[in-house]
Chain A
């Protein structure tokens, strides 16, 4: 009996991510959700700009590459053109929380029936470790060598807290993938985000606290510990909004 194997919605190619990068785990969780709902043939993914820019090579469903940060806008177009398709975007923090903030907020405000997987690793990975909107206060990055100075650079953006204030958003949850328990919780959250779209409930966003061992300058093991020690205290995990759980429905 097979207990675990690579999901079919993930292509059988090597991922280009650095050793120990948790992008691969999140890719797999999304692919498992697609497999378990049996929606591979009608799913359209939107790839971002950033480390996961080549996500279109890894998922077995149809994929579209969006301009930097514009994945929610492209997803809106695809979903409105053909509502029978399941549309998800896969975006990092340099994509969703900086240049794509407007598209994200307005897609949530409009309650677009799409699923967004948001990877928060507190740094710009692909471009070499610059400070991101989600970098922690005091965090050392390439562009904040003395630590992020909040007087100069402001405070990190807490995407889940912010979007959960919008009436439009249906489901907002923050999860992490730094240990088995959190990975299992992340899988449930990602499945629920797809389930919401299948049921036509509306905008679902799952923020995944992820690691970047290369640009944090840590080993893969210490990067996972850093998530526990630094990231999760600043970005608490949990469900920030679940409108259907409260029995609220819009017309």
Chain B
């Protein structure tokens, strides 16, 4: 079961990881706001994650850790 860990306070809410995910696991949080004032990314369908690490590869701020 793949596991995603986010360093939420480093997220700038650019959404590049959301677009690149083939399984639509990620979304920008509509309610949460992080320290920097951005809506951070969160896993909305974590069970669908296949651990391909595309999100982490695309993330410019390196906030995603992927374990399988």
**Given the complex, which residues of A lie within 8 Å of B51, measured CB to CB?**
3
Q: Give Cα distance in the complex from A6 to B65, angstroms.
A: 7
What is the total of A-B residue contacts with beta carbons within 8 Å?
71
Is the pair A6, B19 in contact by a Cβ cutoff of 8 Å? no
Interface size on A, residues (CB 8 A): 28
Is the pair A4, B64 in contact by a Cβ cutoff of 8 Å? yes
Q: Give Cα distance in the complex from A24 to B58, angstroms.
A: 9
Q: Which residue of A lies closest to B63 (CB)?
A: A6
**Given the complex, which residues of A lie within 8 Å of B48, measured CB to CB?**
none
Is the pair B60, A1 in contact by a Cβ cutoff of 8 Å? no
Is A2 an interface position by the 8 A CB rule?
yes
Is the pair B58, A19 in contact by a Cβ cutoff of 8 Å? no
**Given the complex, which residues of A lie within 8 Å of B58, measured CB to CB?**
25, 180, 183
Q: Give Cα distance in the complex from A26 to B65, angstroms.
A: 17
1/0 per position for B2-42, CB-CB distance to A under 8 A?
10000001101111100110000000000000001010000
Q: Give chain A's interface residues, CB within 8 Å of chain B.
A: 1-7, 10, 14-15, 17-25, 28, 179-180, 183-184, 213, 220-221, 224
Q: Give chain B's interface residues, CB within 8 Å of chain A.
A: 2, 9-10, 12-16, 19-20, 36, 38, 51, 53-54, 56-62, 64-68
